[in-house]
Homo-oligomer: A and B are copies of this chain.
Amino acid sequence: MHAQPHPLDQALALTPTSSGHYLGRTTAAYWNMVGPYGGISAALMLNAVLQHPQLLGEPLSLTVNYVAPVAQGDLLLDADPVRTNRTTQHWCVSARQRASDGGEQLTTTASVVTALRRVTWGVSDAPMPPAPEPAHVARASATFPVEWPQRYEMRPIVGGLPKRWDGGGNASLTRLWVRDAPARALDWCALAGLSDVFFPRVWLRRARQVPAGTVSMTVYFHAAGADLAATGDGYLLAQARAQEFRGGFFDQGVQLWNQAGLLLASSQQIVYYKE
């Protein structure tokens, strides 16, 4: 008997069609309200780079722009190494879908920087905040009527989904233990996916559910591949906070530490909201 692949690996599957071109496919397991979970789209864009035979080094930076809705079905991905330097490599990535008129429609663009990390002086100035052990924090029950949150084991410490949508919110900070569900060894794509795991900050800040969607997200990878391997299928302490809600857009800043207290990634996104 063959074990079923992990839902994340199913969602990340890419079939090369020619050099730098891939065929992917949306999966029901990561479906959001009207399209795939943004984190899974980010992870898929990154995977197109990681699968490329000309890859230099490891992910350093990823910016994903959600340019149009993604429908259920095939995705045509292109990953182009537009410049290779001695220690960094710059990538332009795009995803398209066939439109009903037979043409192709751009759905997502990304820029990726990969790099050779070196042994240098280093220091951490964003220490992991104190938190109870994951085993001492209750797992959040599913409160979204959508599929993707089932793919994450979330154990909220502060700033969980409001229990009452009464307009009484006063902060935008969420802090939780999180890992893929079922548990899976951490890799670059999983880490990219986890960077988007928070419900919209505007829901928390207002204790009110309004339409919201990520417009652009950037992830910086601070760790090396060996750090991800050492993290294994352990929990990440994930933290998100907004700075400014204005004119129909808010930002979200994110940090992701492993249980050893190492900052694996930080992320920013700018999000559309209504009303």
- Quick check: A125 and B172 within 8 Å, CB to CB? yes
A197-215 interface bits toward B, Cβ cutoff 8 Å, 1 = contact, 0 = none: 0000000011000000001
- The reply to whether the CB of A140 lies closer than 8 angstroms to some CB of chain B is no
- Quick check: A270 and B220 within 8 Å, CB to CB? yes
| CB neighbours of A145 from chain B (8 A) | none
Copies of this chain, complex-wide, total: 2
Query: CA of A88 to CA of B65 in the docked complex: distance in angstroms?
Result: 11
A220-264 interface bits toward B, Cβ cutoff 8 Å, 1 = contact, 0 = none: 101110000000000000000111111111010101000000010
- Quick check: B249 and A218 within 8 Å, CB to CB? no
- Quick check: B218 and A60 within 8 Å, CB to CB? no
Contact with A120, one of B61, B67, B126, B273 (Cβ below 8 angstroms): B273
Which of chain A's residues 132-166 have a Cβ closer than 8 Å to chain B? none
- Quick check: A242 and B125 within 8 Å, CB to CB? yes
Query: CA of A118 to CA of B121 in the docked complex: distance in angstroms?
Result: 46
- The reply to whether the CB of A97 lies closer than 8 angstroms to some CB of chain B is no
Q: Interface majority SS on A: helix, strand, loop or mixed?
A: strand
- Quick check: B83 and A106 within 8 Å, CB to CB? yes
Closest to A222 in B: B244
- Quick check: B60 and A249 within 8 Å, CB to CB? yes
- Quick check: B111 and A63 within 8 Å, CB to CB? yes
Known: A82-B109, A216-B111. A224 touches B247 (CB 8 A): yes
| CB neighbours of A194 from chain B (8 A) | none
Known: A63-B63, A275-B121. A83 touches B68 (CB 8 A): yes
| CB neighbours of A88 from chain B (8 A) | 215, 272
| CB neighbours of A224 from chain B (8 A) | 246-247
Closest 3 CB pairs of A and B: A117-B247, A126-B243, A122-B246
